[in-house]
Amino acid sequence: MPELPEVESFKRYMDKTSLNKTIKSVEVKNPEILQKVDKHDLKNKLEEHQFQYTRRHGKYLFAYLDNDYWLVLHFGMTGKLIYFKDSDQSPLYDRILIGFKDKTFLAFDDPRKFGKISLVNKMDVFIKEKKLGPDAWEIGLKSFKNLFKSRKGAIKTVLMNQHILAGVGNIYSDEILFQACIHPKTPVNKLKNKKIEDVYTIMKEVLKTALDRNMANQKLPESFLIPNRVENGKCPNSDTKLETIKISGRTAYYCPECQKEPI
């Protein structure tokens, strides 16, 4: 699933390819991915207008139009943006296809159709209605530490909860906890202040590394857990076999040697 680094990559990709270009056509091939807007209204609000700039909050990408509307993109499990110049290059799973007057195209490609697209007047109102927490890329240390006050749940659950912290999901929470040497079941109220600061610093470093590698079309470092996050995968620090556990309905990968289970 695209998490903060991937969505930030999509943002920069859209900035580079699709701003300040008049939209000629909007083809909605799968209306079921639309939320609170129908295909006719979407066409009316987008055609003959331009995307002026983009914003991102957590796993959501917002594209501002010159008519004061925001196109809101959530990429679900498999969604991505594909820009191309020849109509014959249209991707196989383009659920929405935007054609510009300069004869280029931007497609929302999503094989599994779990992505969602909305059209809203106010970005801040949308974030409030979704009850999204502060963005993991933007949050400062003091605010991050405040998130843990009076909480008793597992650290992985807190990191993944978009109402608490927006942008980190199942995959990157595993990476952050691996590098911090914290078992995913560890109660947040058992973490000392210094350990929470470590989680914050590591979170920022992991997200930056992932974004940099995405933008350069490079794989993550071999020292990361994520490349080994597969069946029979091993800890990058040793030959220890990774273990899995269900937390909040998600499968967490961890190293039983590096991440000791709390007693």
**Residue-level pLDDT at 215:** 92
pLDDT at 33 over 80: yes
By the 10 Å C-beta count (0-12 exposed, 13-18 middle, 19+ buried), 242 is classed as buried
**Residue-level pLDDT at 87:** 83
**Residue-level pLDDT at 89:** 86
| Percent of the chain whose pLDDT exceeds 70 | 100
**Residue-level pLDDT at 1:** 83
pLDDT at 38 over 80: yes
pLDDT at 263 over 80: no
Q: Are 183 and 247 in contact (CB under 8 A)?
A: no
Q: Are 71 and 37 in contact (CB under 8 A)?
A: no
Average pLDDT of the chain, as a whole number: 96
**Residue-level pLDDT at 152:** 87
Tell which residue, 195, 194, 43, 197, has the closest CA to residue 117. Answer: 43
**Residue-level pLDDT at 244:** 97
**Residue-level pLDDT at 104:** 97
19 pLDDT band (50/70/90 cuts)?
very high
**Residue-level pLDDT at 88:** 84
For residue 94, give the H/E element and its range: strand 94-100
pLDDT at 172 over 90: yes
**Residue-level pLDDT at 149:** 87
Place of tokens 């390819």: 17
Which pLDDT tens digit goes with each residue over 183-238?
999 999 999 999 999 999 999 999 999 999 999 999 999 999 999 999 999 999 99
| Residues 153-165, mean pLDDT to the nearest whole number | 96
Q: Are 165 and 188 in contact (CB under 8 A)?
A: no
pTM beyond 0.85: the answer is yes
Question: If you classify domain 141-254 with CATH, what class do you get?
Answer: mainly alpha
Question: If you classify domain 4-129 with CATH, what class do you get?
Answer: alpha beta
Q: Give the Cα-Cα-Cα angle 232, 233, 238 (nearest 5 degrees).
A: 120
**Residue-level pLDDT at 186:** 97
| Percent of the chain whose pLDDT exceeds 90 | 93
Domains of the chain by residue range: 4-129, 141-254
Q: Give the Cα-Cα-Cα angle 247, 218, 235 (nearest 5 degrees).
A: 40
